[in-house]
Amino acid sequence: MFCFQCEETASASGCTVKGVCGKPDDTASLQDLLLFVLRGLAWHTERLAALGAPDRSHDAFLREALFSTITNVNWRDERFEALIEEAMDRRDRLASAAEGVTDAPEAATWRGPRADFVAKGRVVGVLTTEDEDVRSLRELLVIGVKGIAAYAAHAAVLGRQDPEIDAFLAEALASTTRDLPVETMVDLVLKAGAIAVKTMAILDDAHTATYGHPQATRINLGVGANPGILVSGHDLKDLEELLAQTAGTGIDVYTHGEMLPAHAYPALHAHSHLVGNYGGAWWQQTSDFESFNGPVLLTTNCLVPPRRDTTYLPRLYTTGAVGYPGAAHVADRADGGAKDFSALIAQARTCPPPTALESGTLTAGFGHAQVLALADKIVEAVSSGAIRRFVVMAGCDGRRRGREYYTEVARALPQDAVILTAGCAKYRYNTLDLGDIGGIPRVLDAGQCNDSYSLVVIAQALKNVMGVADINDLPISYDIAWYEQKAVAVLLALLSLGVKGIRLGPTLPGFLSSAVTKTLVETFGIRPIASVEDDVAAMMAGR
């Protein structure tokens, strides 16, 4: 195997025996083969579109299949085998609609039985592109596209789809089967950033239209005396349906990880048995889930393989794109219906209440609507010097010891600096007592990783209100933590908007060659994180 799509990748270059995430060699090969066949499906999709006979009937499948290959989503080999077979069938149906094809790449024609899948996957992976710089640009595009597909899949659950986004997913994948000029590949990467902005905007609209605009909300970190169900991942519709089915049962519902922002949506907050958030970021789940005592529902990515000595696997449930051997899977909803969570509810009735991990509260819900409601107050604070700098510390958390950097930066920032955050990176500092500035909290939590869009809206609104010509002239610095492919989509979104001077850590992506890294540094000013002292001083000085 060779996999370098996440920040944890071995030696910051690539996992070659087993994924640091826990992904086995065979599973990695199946994912490589699935991506290979999806490229073929995309190639035929693009060819038909060029002939004036577009077929968009495979868009939803392409989104979901890409989503399944994101880090920490699915660990079931039989699921990838089924997706590969379906992708080949769909691809071949497209091929039959266009006769006379003589230039098709192997990805558009190869077919084999399941018995050959793992072996084939081992010879069609990342390293088949020999030129390091071409490989780097292709993988930067593909990895970003995976993040876009995941966000588009979240929006589709709430009935929001956009043909431009789906068309780009096919365009981007198909492009990797061709030898293209470097300039064209760079343009595609920046286009991916623009499509990521659009995708996050559509998802934001889907969330707020369905559940209301997030409001500043105090979230309980303690536990009650009732049995509970813990919901992790990102999917708000799954949480909504579970809340409806547990109403009046005496079962409490808790959020975990990236589901914490759900409490700030009025329609979800209205459920009195949505009682609090339990535990920390995704990587702490093996201990968090163990002590929770009740059923745990994984709705999207961020599943960590349970340890051998775990006792919670029999009460671990997956749904949607997520899967794990030994975990029960909640089937997709039928058209117009809801998912059936009766098995979780029945099991919860037999379980003791959660074991307390912490107490107190924290405040979230500072999406763009809530922050812009404070715009006059914020501008006044900036004008008076009470707020000297905003520091965007959005993105992902992870297991590396070096991520303590983000906690120390939060502590070291002076009292006239405000942190804007989104994603699970906030777990490094969201319980610190950092105070406020004239009633404005020094940590403004916009929500999930996809809610980085809110931070873009806030920056653009401040640009207009403060009358500056360029977004880079605002008193905002970017100190971004990344882990997986959704964060790469967010990074590309920021680059497409012209944001410069982003600090990225705890390491630079292993899929960036030295030449591509040099281009990003020279064009956008991307830089690795340094010491806490040096970075804080530089950011407060606007560097």
Q: What is the mean pLDDT of each run of 10 residues along the chain (543 residues)?
A: 96 95 97 98 95 94 98 98 98 85 91 98 97 98 98 97 97 97 97 98 98 97 98 98 98 98 98 98 97 98 95 97 98 93 98 97 96 90 95 96 96 98 97 95 96 92 88 96 97 95 97 96 96 98 94
10-209 adopts what CATH topology? Substrate Binding Domain Of Dnak; Chain:A; Domain 2 (1.20.1270)
CATH 3.40.50.2030 positions along the chain are 217-348, 367-540
pLDDT for the residue 22: 94
Burial 289-324 (b: 16+ CB within 10 A, else e): bbebbbbbbbbbbbbbbbeeeeebbebbbbbbbbbb
pLDDT for the residue 102: 78
Structure tokens at 357: 């991990």
- Cα–Cα distance for residue pair 290/292, rounded to 1 Å: 6
Q: Yes or no: is domain 367-540 CATH 3.30.428.10?
A: no
pTM for the full predicted model: 0.97
pLDDT for the residue 169: 98
CATH 1.20.1270.20 positions along the chain are 10-209
Whose structure tokens read 């806490």?
A: 532
Type and span of the H or E element at 253: strand 252-255
pLDDT for the residue 445: 97
pLDDT for the residue 97: 81
Task: Write the CATH number of the domain with boundaries 217-348.
Answer: 3.40.50.2030
pLDDT for the residue 379: 87
- Cα–Cα distance for residue pair 35/87, rounded to 1 Å: 10
pLDDT for the residue 80: 98
Cβ contact 411:432 at 8 Å: yes
